[in-house]
Amino acid sequence: MTERTLRVDTVIPVYNEEKALPGSIQQLDAFLSAECRHDWRIIIADNASVDGTPEVGRALALQYPRVRYERLERKGRGLALRTAWLASDADILSYMDVDLSTNLSAYIPLIESIAGGGFQVAIGSRLRRGARVRRQWKREIISRGYNLLIKLLFPTRRFSDAQCGFKAISRVAARKLIPIVENNHWFFDSELLLRAEQHGYGIFEVPVDWVEDLDTRVKIASTAWEDVKGLLRVRFTPKEGRTVG
């Protein structure tokens, strides 16, 4: 990309996060104000929260000039990302989890790999050399087992960590890939990366410092089953997938 002013959108998908949201937005806004050289914006993508998240999100959008609140009436983390990214006019689209489990120091390298590094897709990785991770042993085993399963089903796969909630993509790549990503929930990330590699996109990886959020909304058993079904579907369908409206 050229040296013209680029716009970067950082999407925070949320579901029932009224307590975590204010502190996360304050921290992220301060970080981007100090560190990001591009024109940036934070988008709170609320996917059908039933607590006080809508009121908190709207208040934050009034408090911070570069924060927007968007409401979806259907649940789905992947749906929130799909909707926010496809509606965006930013050059670079990114997202991170509301708990900020991934240290923000990795964000600028993530964005710059697309802004000037020649990549179209970039991810944070907890499994690359240099990453530092603190989480319960069960989550560690599940994560490594899942990424091993991906490697077995997709032997040419090169990315190391499909599930880290810390990713970026160019608008051009997003417009091509998102319509063929079918999943609207937790498998969205994995499917996006697999389709990206199938279409010849190199994926830049940033080793991250990551601390597990013990208040996570992820339901491990149902999410794992969704992931397995998704991997099998992607493995045995054409790379063009089935276009999702």
**Residue 111 near residue 92, CB atoms below 8 Å:** yes
Between 42-46, 66-70, 213-217, the lowest mean confidence (pLDDT) is in 213-217
Q: Are 204 and 121 in contact (CB under 8 A)?
A: yes
Smallest Cα–Cα separation from 139: which of 187, 232, 211?
A: 211
Compute φ and ψ for 205, nearest 5 degrees. -120, 130
pLDDT band at 2 (very low <50, low <70, confident <90, very high): very low
Largest CA distance in the chain: 48
What is the token pair recorded at 17? 């996060």
The pLDDT, as a whole number, for residue 242 is: 62
pLDDT number for residue 36: 97
- Interval 153-194: pLDDT, tens: 999 989 999 999 999 999 999 999 999 999 999 999 999 999
Q: How do 92-96 and 166-170 pair as beta strands?
A: antiparallel
Tokens of 52: 């006080």
Options 51, 189, 213, 227, the catalytic residue: 189
HSE on the CB side for 159, CA within 13 Å?
30
> pLDDT tier at 205 (50, 70, 90 boundaries)?
very high
pLDDT at 215: 62
pLDDT in tens, 15-61: 999 999 999 999 999 999 999 999 999 999 999 999 999 999 999 99
Q: Where are the domains of the chain?
A: 7-235
Residue positions counted in the chain = 245
Task: Give yes or no: 189 in active site.
Answer: yes
- As a whole number of angstroms, the distance between CA 52 and CA 43 comes to 17
Q: What is the pLDDT of residue 83?
A: 97
| Three-state secondary structure string covering the chain | CCCCCCEEEEEEEECCCCCHHHHHHHHHHHHHHHHCCCEEEEEEEEECCCCCHHHHHHHHHHHCCCEEEEEECCCCHHHHHHHHHHHCCCCEEEEECCCCCECHHHHHHHHHHHHCCCCCEEEEECCCCCCEEECCHHHHHHHHHHHHHHHHHCCCCCCCCCCCCEEEEEHHHHHHHHHHCCCCCCCHHHHHHHHHHHCCCCEEEEECEEECCCCCCCCHHHHHHHHHHHHHHHHCCCCCCCCCC
Give the CATH superfamily of 7-235. Answer: Spore Coat Polysaccharide Biosynthesis Protein SpsA; Chain A (3.90.550.10)
